[in-house]
Chains A and B, each alone.
Chain A
Amino acid sequence: DSGVTQTPKHLITATGQRVTLRCSPRSGDLSVYWYQQSLDQGLQFLIQYYNGEERAKGNILERFSAQQFPDLHSELNLSSLELGDSALYFCASSVSPRYEQYFGPGTRLTVT
C-alpha cells in the first residue's frame, strides 16, 4: 500500500459524458501527478501540481482538466468522453518534485 488513494476504482460511462476522478496523496506529500495508461499508448504523464499550483503539463487533452485543492487532494475531470479515453488513470504523489513518486491503485475508466 503506497498511501495514495484513488476513487472510484472502476467507472463505466457513456460517450459524451463527464467524470471526475479523485486522488488523495500520501500524508505530507505536496506534489500530485496524473498519468494515463492505455493499451496502445502505455503510461503517459498528464499533469503535475505542487501545493495547489500547476507545475508541468504533458499530453493532456483540452477536454481534460485537473486541480489540486488546499487540503492537497486532487481531481481529474474528463469531459466529452470518447471511446479512446478508456484507460487506467493513475495518481502519484511525492514530497516535492525532486523526490520519488508513489502511485495509487488507479481508476479504470470504461467508456461505452
Chain B
Amino acid sequence: DAKTTQPTSMDCAEGRAANLPCNHSTISGNEYVYWYRQIHSQGPQYIIHGLKNNETNEMASLIITEDRKSSTLILPHATLRDTAVYYCIVKRDSGNTPLVFGKGTRLSVIA
C-alpha cells in the first residue's frame, strides 16, 4: 500500500473549517483513501473514504486531487469535540489488506 505524509499537528478555531492535508504520491489506481480519527485513547473512528471523486457525509468532506496524489479532509464547522489524531490511510479495497496507521495529524480545536 502507498505511504502517506501528514503534518504532525494543526490548530483550528472553533466554528471554523478544519482542512487536514494528506500526501500519497505513490498511490495506485486501485487504492482508496481512508480517514479515521482517534479521540484520546478511544477506539479509532471511521470518518470517510474515497477513490477519486470527492465525497461528503454527515461528518466531513473528502477532496481528492485529480492526479490522486493528495487529498484534504474538511471538517466544515470544527468543535472542541473534534480534537483528535486524524489518520489518512491508503488501502487496496480488494479484501485482505489491513489498515496501516501512521502517526497522523494531531488536530487541536481551540475555543
Contacts and interface: CB of A to CB of B under 8 A. Distances in A.
The answer to whether A and B come from one shared complex is: yes
Interface stretch (A13-21, A64-72, A93-101): A93-101
Interface string B79-111: 000000001000001111111111100000000
B101 A42 contact: yes
A55 B41 contact: no
Interface residues of A, number: 27
A55 B96 contact: yes
A102 B43 CA distance: 9
| Interface residues of chain A: helix, strand, loop or mixed (majority) | strand
B43 A106 contact: yes
Interface in A74-97: 88, 90, 92, 96-97
A27 to B, nearest CB: 17
Nearest to A47: B98
Interface size class of B (residues with CB under 8 A): 20 to 34
| Interface residues of chain B: helix, strand, loop or mixed (majority) | loop
Contacts, number: 56
A24 B42 CA distance: 17
Contact of B46 (A35, A102, A108): A102
Interface in B1-33: none
A16 B46 CA distance: 35
Most chain A CB within 10 A, of B34, B43, B44, B101, is at B43
Contact of A58 (B44, B45, B49, B98): B98
B103 A104 contact: no
Nearest to B95: A97
A106 to B, nearest CB: 5
7 contacts: A43-B87, A56-B98, A90-B44, A97-B95, A98-B95, A100-B34, A106-B43
Interface of A: 2, 4, 33, 35, 42-45, 48, 50, 55-56, 58, 88, 90, 92, 96-98, 100-106, 108
Given A101-B99, A102-B46, 13 more contacts: A4-B43, A42-B101, A42-B102, A44-B101, A48-B98, A56-B96, A97-B95, A97-B96, A98-B94, A100-B49, A101-B46, A103-B46, A104-B43
